[in-house]
């Protein structure tokens, strides 16, 4: 029995000495992390990216927008035109664009400036249908009248001020900004049968418009400097025809 205890003590001492000579392996120190979601990310620096969006658009078309065109229609002596006012134009549109900016990081707080550009096929249509009636009998409708305004906005660029708070690999943020873009309004009117004089049936005008933007989103770092973005943006464009755009957006970017 004494020999057995002595052998066990010698083996234990040798094993302990050998373990003491072994390198401090990571697996022995429990150095594995809980995953990328718990690692604090460095967002300091420049970044660029691309994006795709889906927008709900409301253009507030004044009811008398086509009154100048309607005045050029001269009805026959026995009839008159009943033009109906236009209303708000609604649409749902897809778009794409790009963004670039710079982040300054202070502990867990990030502030930055960003340039954002969107190319969208925004095309909102407002229609109204009236009628042409006989003067001798207002209840005898001869034909219909049509009035249309199409509000298009193809491009919009904005400068944003962003502020966010780091949560692991996530960067939730909010932003405000201002920008400008191009807006085209195509107008047309018609009445059948035709008026007794040549009428102006259509007109188109393009102009630069200004607006402001605000919203919130979250950037999530994937690997290296590659990150994905999900964002909501509200944009209001003020011009002859005010347009309000609510956009949801997905993007992919890279921070240098």
Is the Cβ–Cβ distance between 207 and 173 less than 8 Å?
A: no
Residue 226 maps to a domain: yes
Looking at residue 140, what is its pLDDT?
Answer: 54
User: Please, what is the Cα angle at 37 between 36 and 38, to 5 degrees?
Assistant: 90
Is the Cβ–Cβ distance between 52 and 94 less than 8 Å?
A: yes
Residue 4 maps to a domain: no
Cβ atoms within 10 Å, residue 1? 5
Residue 78 maps to a domain: yes
Looking at residue 137, what is its pLDDT?
Answer: 57
Q: How many domains does the chain have?
A: 1
Residue 34 maps to a domain: no
Look up the CATH number of the domain holding residue 157. 2.40.160.20
Looking at residue 120, what is its pLDDT?
Answer: 85
For residue range 140-182, what is the model confidence (pLDDT) as tens digits? Answer: 555 678 899 999 988 999 999 999 999 999 999 999 999 999 9
Q: Hey, what are 126's tokens? A: 């407002």
Residue 155 maps to a domain: yes
Residue 246 maps to a domain: yes
Looking at residue 187, what is its pLDDT?
Answer: 95
Residues of the chain below pLDDT 50: 1-37
Looking at residue 163, what is its pLDDT?
Answer: 98
Tell me the CA distances in angstroms from 95 to 59, 92, 154, 189, one per residue in order.
17, 10, 9, 29
Shortest CA distance to 180 belongs to which of 113, 248, 243? 243
Looking at residue 220, what is its pLDDT?
Answer: 96
Residue 61 maps to a domain: yes
In angstroms, rounded to a whole number, what is the distance separating the alpha carbons of residues 53 and 240?
Answer: 26
Looking at residue 146, what is its pLDDT?
Answer: 87
Residue 248 maps to a domain: yes
The residue segments making up the domain with residue 199 are 42-255
- How many Å separate Cα 101 from the centre of its chain? 17
């Amino acid at each position: 029995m004494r020999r057995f205890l002595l052998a066990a003590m010698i083996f234990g001492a040798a094993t302990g000495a050998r373990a003491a000579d072994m390198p401090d392996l990571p697996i022995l120190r429990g150095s594995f992390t809980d995953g990328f979601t718990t690692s604090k990310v460095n967002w300091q620096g420049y970044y660029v990216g691309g994006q795709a969006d889906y927008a709900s658009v409301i253009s507030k078309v004044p009811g008398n927008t086509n009154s100048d065109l309607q005045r050029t229609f001269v009805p026959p002596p026995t009839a008159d035109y009943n033009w109906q006012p236009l209303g708000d134009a609604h649409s749902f549109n897809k778009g794409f664009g790009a963004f670039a900016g710079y982040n300054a990081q202070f502990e867990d707080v990030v502030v930055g400036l960003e340039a954002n550009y969107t190319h969208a096929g925004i095309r909102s249509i407002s229609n109204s249908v009236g009628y042409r009636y006989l003067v001798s009998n207002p209840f005898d409708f001869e034909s219909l009248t049509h009035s249309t305004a199409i509000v298009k906005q193809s491009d919009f660029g904005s400068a944003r001020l962003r502020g966010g708070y780091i949560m692991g690999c996530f960067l939730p943020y909010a932003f405000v900004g201002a920008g400008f873009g191009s807006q085209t309004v195509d107008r047309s009117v018609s009445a059948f049968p035709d008026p007794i004089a040549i009428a102006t049936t259509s007109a188109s005008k393009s102009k630069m418009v200004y607006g402001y933007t605000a919203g919130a989103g979250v950037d999530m770092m994937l690997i290296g400097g590659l990150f994905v973005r999900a964002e909501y943006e509200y944009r209001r464009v003020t011009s002859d025809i005010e347009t309000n755009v609510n956009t949801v957006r997905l993007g992919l970017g890279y921070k240098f």
